[in-house]
Amino acid sequence: MKEYNVAVVGIGGVGSEMVRILKQRNFPCKSLQIFARSTRDEVVDGVTYNVKAVTEDALDNIDVAFFAGGEKADDHFGLKAIERRKSVSGLNKLVVIDNGNAFRMYPNVPLVVPEVNPEDLRENTGIIASPNCSTIQMVAALKPLHDAARIKRVVVSTYQAASGKSAAAREELVKQTKDVAEGNAPVVDINVFPYQIYGNCLPHIDVFLPDGYTKEELKVIQETRKILGDDTIQVTCTAVRVPVDNAHAESVNVEFYNPLSAQKAREILANTPGIIVQDDVKNNIYPLQADASGKDEVFVGRIREDRSVAYGINFWVVSDNLRKGAALNTVQIAEKMIEMGLL
């Protein structure tokens, strides 16, 4: 098997998870280098990695670079490295797989969930974008249903864990929970979130836009259409931060153009790679965030027909936002490219 010189750029929560998943899945690394804004040592699962400062020429000998995040395209080192590759002869071919928001809606950049739209990988100029965490788990469930009955409209409410914000957010939730348990209420240590997260659901993820939606909600709306390749699908979203450590949950309502029973939807999803159906309400079996944390699959349950429209389905979907919602999806993109002979 061919081996690759691999880089992970960014070594926070998502970057560390990328390193972990590359090892867990035995990705064919000839070498693995870690880059960040500053030089330092970082420990992941007991292994110390020397982190180098990322520069425009740092990726000259890299075959595939996994970027943990980034919001701006104009100062993105991945884009600079690809442009440098074009201008300097003899440099390795480079593929950048970016987990950030910088390139997701660029028309010439594939936005990919490997189980959903792998063929989009064939049309790339060196950069592939991985979608927003809350989009990934939803489209993984939507795609097979869309193929079966064609989606008309999606209404989704997300229940997103603190880990989706940052490591500091997780620490703030833990501290507030401990403070309340020890009788130190009201909570006064509020730094990461706009309000106390312990005991609260905050309908506020990312910045508010002029129309009252948040940037997070807009990502879900736009990315869903791009990934499914259908701009006619109507999507609306309310994104909520909840006092849960890790793994996102979503309540999804889908209206179709064609008939689709709950039983048929259940059968379709149960036979979809990467999805596990947990849907036995008689025995209180349905997906839970605590159970999904640390897992690679997307879990779907509470599948039922929407009585308010002619053809509609409701379901509940849960996934680990740091794994399938971020690091795992980027590694799976590279694996799929290898399988397709694109890397």
What the block records as the tokens of 318 is 């849960």
How distant, in Å, are the alpha carbons of 21, 66, 120, 298, 338 from that of 96? 17, 6, 15, 25, 14
Q: Which of 277, 333, 343 is nearest to 22 (CA)?
A: 333
With residue 28 as reference, give the H or E element that holds it: none
In the beta sheet, which residues pair with residue 256?
Answer: 151
Token pair 């309540």 is at which residue?
251
248 catalytic? Reply is yes
In the beta sheet, which residues pair with residue 6?
Answer: 32, 64
146 catalytic? Reply is no
How distant, in Å, are the alpha carbons of 76, 279, 296 from that of 10? 12, 38, 21
Token pair 């593929």 is at which residue?
95
Q: Which of 76, 133, 146, 237 is catalytic?
A: 133
Distance CA 66, CA 6 (A): 8
Q: Which of 246, 239, 324, 238 is nearest to 288 (CA)?
A: 246
Q: Which of 76, 146, 237, 248 is catalytic?
A: 248
Distance CA 80, CA 126 (A): 11
Do 122 and 108 touch, CB atoms closer than 8 A? no
- Looking only at the bridges linking them, the beta strands covering 29-36 and 40-44 are unpaired
Catalytic residue numbers? 133, 248
